[in-house]
Structure 1
C-alpha cells in the first residue's frame, strides 16, 4: 500500500463545488488515471481519500491538500504523469509526495490557514487599518455560531491590511484551523463591520504541525 499527498488549487471554476463533490472528483480522477485506489474495510468499503479542510463555497485556494491511499506502490513520476491530465480543470495539481502510511491524518496535523480577502468596502484605508488595530487590541471578541457563543480573538493569529492595485482593500489573515477551534474569514469581516460588503476569499496556505 502507498499513501500519497497532493497539493492542488481550487480555482474560480470550482468555487461553488462543495466539499463532498471535491472528494468525489478526486475519486473519479484516480479512476480515470487507472491508479489502484485502496478501500476501507467493512460492509460499505469507501476509497481511502482524506481532504485536509473543507473550503467554504465561493472561496478559492492555491494550497489544498488531499491524502490518497493506493493498493499498490507506484513510482511518483508515473503517478504524476497519469494524474495531471486526468484532473478536472478547476483542480490543478501542483505537487505529489509520498507520506508514511502511519502518519497522522491531515485533520489532526492542521494548525492554521492563511487567507487573502479582497473587498471593495467603501471606507478609507486609514479607517480600515484603524478597525484592524482596534480588533487586535481586544482581549475578547464574542461571536455566535450555531446558536453557541464563542471567543473569536484567540482564533486570529495574524491580521493586516494591504493595498490593492485596483483600489480595493486586501486583508491578510492567519486563522486557527484546529479541530473544534477554527476561525472563519467571514466572521473576521463581520467583526470589522464589513459583513454587508462583498468579498473574494482566497486560501493561500495550510500550516501543518511539524
Structure 2
C-alpha cells in the first residue's frame, strides 16, 4: 500500500573516489540501503513492487566527481533535517558526503523538470601548452554550430553541441595540466558533456578529471 507523504527533504551530496564509477542504478540502490540502515521513515510507492520515493536531479555521468548532487527524499513521518543528516552521515560509505539537507515544498516540481545548467571544473593533461589550449577554447566558442551524434533509443541522432555551451573559461596551468571551467546546459532540452567538448577542442589529452561543482535550476536556485 502506498505510504502517505508528509515531508520532502532535499539532500545535497558529494561523490568522490570509487563511487564516481557508480551508475545511476547503483547510486539508487546505495541510497535505498543507506536510508534503511539509517532508519529513515521513507515513503513508498504503491503496487506489487513498492519502492522508496526518491527523486534525483540530473544523473551524474559515470567517472565524474561532484559536490552538488541533489536528491529529494519523500518521508512518511516528519523528520528534522539535522536529525536526518546525522542519521545518514553515520551510515554513509566512503566517497559519499552530505553537504546540506533542507525541507522543500511537498508539491513542488520534480527536480529534473527545473534543471537548467551545470558548472564543471575540468582538468586535462595535454601535449599542447597554455597558449595552444587557450586558442582551442576560443576557436571552439567561435563556432556557430558543432554537430555531433549520440545514440538514443537505439538510434543515432544528430545534435548541436554548441547550443549546450554557455561558457568555457581557461583557469590555470600546472605543468602539462590545464584547468577549464565549463558552464553547460543541463536539463530536459539537452545537456552538454565536458568530454565531448574536450574531443572537439582538438588537443591531445592523455588524462582528464571532471568535477561537477554547481547545478542551476529554475528561478535562480542552485545546488552547491
Q: TM-score, normalised by structure 1?
A: 0.95
Of the three residues 73, 79, 83, the one matched with 1:68 is 73
Of the three residues 18, 32, 50, the one matched with 1:13 is 18
- CA deviation after TM superposition for structure 1 residue 24, in Å: 1.1
| Aligned twin of 1:46 | 51
Counterpart contact for 2:184–2:191, Cα < 8 Å: yes
Distance 2:104 2:186 in 1: 21
| Aligned twin of 1:102 | 107
- The worse-fitting range, judged by mean Cα deviation, of 176-185 and 162-171 is 162-171
Q: TM-score, normalised by structure 2?
A: 0.89
- CA deviation after TM superposition for structure 1 residue 196, in Å: 5.1
2:213 is paired with a residue whose SS is strand
5 Å-filtered alignment, 1:104-143, equals 104-143=109-148
- Report how many aligned residue pairs link the two structures: 210
- CA deviation after TM superposition for structure 1 residue 139, in Å: 1.1
Instruction: Kindly indicate whether residue 222 of structure 2 is the aligned counterpart of residue 192 of structure 1.
Output: no
Distance 1:129 1:179 in 2: 31
Give ranges in structure 2 of 5+ residues lacking alignment: 1-5, 220-224
Query: Structure 1's 33 and 195: CA in aligned 2 closer, same or farther, altered over 3 A?
Result: farther
Instruction: Kindly indicate whether residue 163 of structure 2 is the aligned counterpart of residue 154 of structure 1.
Output: yes
| Aligned twin of 1:59 | 64
RMSD: 1.4
Distance 1:193 1:172 in 2: 17
Q: Show CA shifts across 1:11-40 (max 9, x none).
A: 123111111111111111111111111011
Of the three residues 139, 164, 176, the one matched with 2:173 is 164
- CA deviation after TM superposition for structure 1 residue 195, in Å: 7.0
Counterpart contact for 2:126–2:203, Cα < 8 Å: yes
Counterpart contact for 1:186–1:195, Cα < 8 Å: no
- CA deviation after TM superposition for structure 1 residue 144, in Å: 1.2
Of the three residues 18, 22, 30, the one matched with 1:25 is 30
- The worse-fitting range, judged by mean Cα deviation, of 31-40 and 195-204 is 195-204
Counterpart contact for 2:126–2:176, Cα < 8 Å: no
1:81 is paired with a residue whose SS is helix
Of the three residues 186, 194, 207, the one matched with 1:177 is 186
